[in-house]
Chains A and B, each alone.
Chain A
């Protein structure tokens, strides 16, 4: 069975500092991994995805994520946080041989000025 874990309910970071939002996954076979962001009262917006290839994936708004197969992780990172990055972030995984995209419980990122 597929599963995703986001171990932190909330991450607090000062503006200008680097941020990391953690994600680990469990799937059989090769994973397809995604990060989405949700602003208040809005739908989910795509940030980035890993399907195959380079383990470091760059996405929208300066975010990036590193696929680590041995640690089954796909942490979201940004070198310098902005107050406007404050939102709810979701990690999601899909096994290559299924049609279902499974989400983590979400991590609320709070960036303080």
Chain B
């Protein structure tokens, strides 16, 4: 089925560890986004990409890095995880008619 797939779905990290979240879409969309969702704060944009090989900062980029080496994949990296990065992370892609499709999320806990 066409859509946005996020892996992993759950992860627990120790402070200082690193990890990469993978987002894959099979809809040939140019635009992809990473958001984090925290209680009372809605979804905040971390980084986004307007096409293969491009990335740009969103509202809360600090502590995260991203890469878009292939059009269908958008990776979010945490180099040194902190408890403040405990959150639910959502990836999304945008079609030419302005529709945004979201993945099912990655629940990350940093202890």
Question: What separation, in Å, do the CA atoms of A106 and B41 have in the docked complex?
Answer: 8
Q: Does the CB pair B31–A49 fall under 8 Å?
A: no
With beta carbons under 8 angstroms apart, the residue of A43, A45, A102, A103 that contacts B105 is A43
Q: For residue B107, which residue of chain A has the nearest CB?
A: A41
Of chain A, the residue at the smallest CB distance from B103 is A43
Whether the Cβ atoms of B58 and A100 lie closer than 8 Å is yes
Bound Cα distance A32, B56 (Å): 20
CA distance A34 to B48 in the complex (A): 18
What's the nearest-Cβ distance from chain B to residue A57, in Å?
12
- Complex interface: chain B residues within 8 A of A104 (CB): 42
Q: Check: A105 CB closer than 8 A to any chain B CB.
A: yes
Is B82 an interface position by the 8 A CB rule?
A: no
Mark A34-64 against chain B: 1 for CB-CB distance below 8 A, else 0: 1010000011111001010000000000000
Q: How far is the CB of A47 from chain B (nearest CB, A)?
A: 11
Interface residue A14 (Cβ < 8 Å from any Cβ of B): no
Whether the Cβ atoms of B90 and A99 lie closer than 8 Å is no
Closest to A96 in B: B98
**Cβ of A101 under 8 Å from chain B:** yes
B103 x A90 contact (CB < 8 A): no
Known: A44-B90, A99-B48. A106 touches B100 (CB 8 A): no
What size tier do the contact residues of chain A reach?
20 to 34
Alpha-carbon distance between A6 and B105 when the two chains are bound, in angstroms: 23
- In the complex, which residues of chain A have a beta carbon less than 8 angstroms from the beta carbon of B108? none
CB nearest to B4 among chain A residues: A43
Establish whether residues B45 and A44, one from each chain, have CB atoms under 8 Å apart when the complex forms: no
- CB-defined contacts of B102 to chain A, threshold 8 Å: 36, 43-45
Contact A43-B90, Cβ < 8 Å, known A34-B100, A99-B50, A100-B58: yes
What is the chain A residue whose CB lies nearest that of B56? A99
User: Is the Cβ of B104 less than 8 Å from the Cβ of A32?
Assistant: no
Given A43-B103, A43-B104, residue A102 in contact with residue B90 (CB < 8 A): no
The answer to whether B45 touches A101, judged by C-beta atoms less than 8 angstroms apart, is yes
- Nearest chain-A residue to B97 (Cβ)? A51
A100 to B47, CA, bound (A): 9
Q: Is the CB of B42 within 8 A of A103?
A: yes
